[in-house]
A and B are shown apart, each in its own frame.
Chain A
Amino acid sequence: MKVLSAAILGVIFGVGLLVSGMLDPAKVLGFLDVTGQWNPQLAFVMGGAIAVAAPAFLYARRRSASLLDAPIEIPKGQPIDARLLSGAGLFGLGWGIAGICPGPAVVLLGLGGGPAWVFAITMVVGGLGGQRLIVNRVRAAAPQGA
C-alpha cells in the first residue's frame, strides 16, 4: 500500500511540476531574474503548494502515525548552521546556472533526452559525493572508537 500510494503521489507531484511550468528552465530563470524582465509566474507555484500543504502539516503534527500506520517522520528542530547555509548557497548557484532543481530533473529524465540525463547524473554524483564529505567530517570530529 505504501509503495502504491507513493507511486500515485509521485505522479500527482510530477503533473503539478508539468502544469506549473517548473519543467521549463526559461521560466525558472525568468522568475529568478528579478532585475531584468522579471516573470513572477512561478511565485504562484510555491504559493499554491504551501496553501494546500500547510494545513496537512498542521494536522499531521497531531497524529501519532500516518493513515497507512507508518511513523510520521518530521525532522527535529536542528540549528541553522554553516552547513545548511553553505549547502543552500551551492544549490542556489547551480539552480541559477541551469534553472533546474531536483524534482523537475527527475521528470525531465523522461521528457528532456540527453541534456536532462547529464544534469541528473551529475546531480546524483554530487549528492553522493556530498554524502561522503559529511560522513568523513563527522568521523573526523568524533573521538576514536565513537
Chain B
Amino acid sequence: MHPFLQSLIGGGLIGLASAGLLLFNGRIAGISGILFDAASRQPGHWRWAFLGGLLAVGVVARLSGMQPSPALAASGLPLLALAGLLVGVGTKLGNGCTSGHGVCGISRLSPRSLAATMTFMAVAGITVLIVRHAAPMLGLVRA
C-alpha cells in the first residue's frame, strides 16, 4: 500500500477514535491532558482505560514481532530525556498536543488550537532545521 494512503487510513482511525470519545464519553481526545490528569489522580477511570488501550496496541505489536524504529533511540538518552521534559512542560502550559490541538481543536475550528498548532509545527520545523542542517554546518554535532 502507498505510504500516503496508509497515513490517510491511520489518520482516519485517529479521527474516528477522537469522534467516538466525544460522542460517547463527552471528552476531547487530547492525549497529553488525559495522561497528566490520570497521573495527577483526577477522578475518572475512563482515562486509564483509554491510555490502557493505547498501551495495549504497543504491547500487541511487540508480541507479534514488530520492532520499534531505530530512530527512537538515535538521539541518545540525555537528549530524549530533555525532549520528554520539554514536551511535558510545553503541552501542560499550552493545554494540548498534536491530538488535542492539532486534531480535535482544528476539527472544531478553535482559533486557540489553530494558533497553538501553527506555533508548535513552526518551532518543531525550525528545531529540525537547526539540529539537522545548521548545527552540523557549524560543526556542533555530527550530521
Instruction: Answer whether residue B9 sits at the interface, using C-beta atoms and an 8 A cutoff.
Output: yes
Q: How far is the CA of A88 from the CA of B20 in the complex (A)?
A: 26
Specify the main secondary structure of chain B where it touches its partner: helix
Instruction: Report which of B18, B68, B75, B97 forms a contact with A13, defined as CB distance below 8 A.
Output: B18
Q: How far is the CA of A82 from the CA of B28 in the complex (A)?
A: 23
Instruction: Answer whether residue A90 sits at the interface, using C-beta atoms and an 8 A cutoff.
Output: yes
Write the B38-74 contact mask toward A (1 if CB under 8 angstroms, else 0): 0110000111011111111111111000101111111
Residue numbers in B under 8 Å from A120 (CB-CB): 84
Residue numbers in B under 8 Å from A115 (CB-CB): 72-73, 77, 80
How many B residues touch A, CB cutoff 8 Å? 107
Query: A137 to nearest B CB, angstroms?
Result: 10
Does A41 contact B4, Cβ atoms closer than 8 Å? yes
Residue numbers in B under 8 Å from A9 (CB-CB): 17, 20-21, 24-25, 29, 50, 53
Measured CB to CB, the residues of A under 8 A from B are 2-27, 29, 32-36, 40-42, 44-61, 65-68, 70-75, 77-80, 83-103, 105-116, 118-131, 133-134
Measured CB to CB, the residues of B under 8 A from A are 3-29, 31-32, 35-36, 39-40, 45-47, 49-62, 66, 68-75, 77, 79-95, 97-99, 101-104, 106-108, 110-112, 115-117, 119-129, 131-133
